[in-house]
Amino acid sequence: MTDRTNERAFLTGQLLIAMPNMADPRFARTVIYVCAHTEEGAMGLVVNKAMPSITFPDLLEQLGIPAGQDLTGLKVHFGGPVESGRGFVLHSTDFVRDGTLRVDDHVALTATIDILRAIAVGEGPRRHLLALGYAGWGPGQLDSELQANGWLTAPPDDAILFDPDLSTKWERAIAKLGVSPAMLSGEAGHA
């Protein structure tokens, strides 16, 4: 008999890849990094969608944080529909402070303004992604969506998490599984 708690916790640190038939338009063609998955629910960040109306330098200016370097190429990501005014930085573990959650040996999550100050002056983590909002699931909700064939899961890699080319992340994440999106069906299989 399988221990369901361990099975659920396995998704922490994994990618969720929306199936081509994802009905919720907020998650169509998304790739989500799962930061936590327990009996109480799950939390993750969309890693392949940018906020259309704000840039990283704009955000720093709004927060009154001076930039000590050129940050014009940095995007602010749509992390998900929950608490869309709240910021999260998904980053490499070379930057860990009070308030940082180590997801695994390579990836951490920080939601304090200190990390934004550090990034602004070039003292932040080597790899990072700033997101506003997050994707959240209640107890058992993500498990139900997986059983209903709404998501695929895959191990992450730095290119999918932190690569600034957002337009191909969904296809690259599916390709990690060795399949083509055209081969995927929205029908759940039954043995």
Tens digits of per-residue pLDDT, 130-188?
999 999 999 999 999 999 989 999 999 999 999 999 999 999 999 988 887 767 755 54
SS3 content of the chain, % helix, strand, coil (to 5): 25, 30, 45
What percentage of the chain reaches a pLDDT higher than 70?
Answer: 90
DSSP summary character for residue 125: -
Q: Is 84 exposed, middle or buried (0-12, 13-18, 19+ CB in 10 A)?
A: middle
Number of domains in the chain: 1
Whole-model pTM above 0.75?
yes
Domain presence at residue 21:
yes
Domain presence at residue 189:
no
DSSP summary character for residue 112: S
DSSP summary character for residue 181: G
Query: CB–CB of 77/55 below 8 Å?
Result: no
Domain presence at residue 188:
no
Domain presence at residue 176:
yes
pLDDT above 70: residue 69: yes
Domain presence at residue 156:
yes
Domain presence at residue 84:
yes
pLDDT above 90: residue 53: no
pLDDT the model gives residue 2: 38
Q: Can you tell me the mean pLDDT for 66-91?
A: 90
Q: Domain holding 41: CATH number?
A: 3.40.1740.10
pLDDT the model gives residue 186: 53
The per-residue pLDDT for range 85-144, each reduced to its tens digit, is 899 999 999 999 999 999 999 999 999 999 999 999 999 999 999 999 999 999 999 999
Domain presence at residue 127:
yes
Q: Which domain holds residue 8?
A: 4-183
Q: How confident is the model at residue 191 (pLDDT cuts 50, 70, 90)?
A: very low
Nearest one of 88, 93, 72, 100 to 131, comparing CA atoms = 88
Q: What's the token pair of residue 43?
A: 């939390």
Domain presence at residue 191:
no
Task: Give the three-class secondary structure for 60.
Answer: helix
